Amino acid sequence: MWRAPGKRAPAKRGIVRSNEELIELARQAREFAHAPYSKFPVGAVVECRDGRIFTGCNVENSSFGLTICAERVALTKAVSEGARDFIKLAVIADAHAPVPPCGACRQVISELCAPETEIVMANLHGQAESRKVSELLPAAFDQSFL
Ligand SMILES: [Zn+2]
In this structure, are residues 52 and 11 in contact, taking their beta carbons and an 8 Å threshold?
yes
- Ligand 1 centroid from CA 83, angstroms: 20
Output the pLDDT for position 14: 65
Active site residues: 71
pLDDT digit of tens for each residue in the chain (146 aa)? 444 444 444 445 667 899 999 999 999 999 999 999 999 999 999 999 999 999 999 999 999 999 999 999 999 999 999 999 999 999 999 999 999 999 999 999 999 999 999 999 999 999 999 999 999 999 999 999 99
Partners of 47 in the β-ladder: 53, 88
Three-class secondary structure of residue 69 per DSSP:
coil
- Ligand 1 centroid from CA 111, angstroms: 14
- Which domains are delineated in the chain? 19-138 (3.40.140.10)
pLDDT digits (tens, 9 = 90+) for 81-112: 999 999 999 999 999 999 999 999 999 999 99
pTM, 2 dp? 0.89
- Ligand 1 centroid from CA 68, angstroms: 7
Output the pLDDT for position 93: 98
Q: Which residues fall within 8 angstroms of residue 57, CB to CB, at 6 or more apart?
A: 29, 30, 31, 32, 33, 34, 41, 42, 43, 44, 70, 73
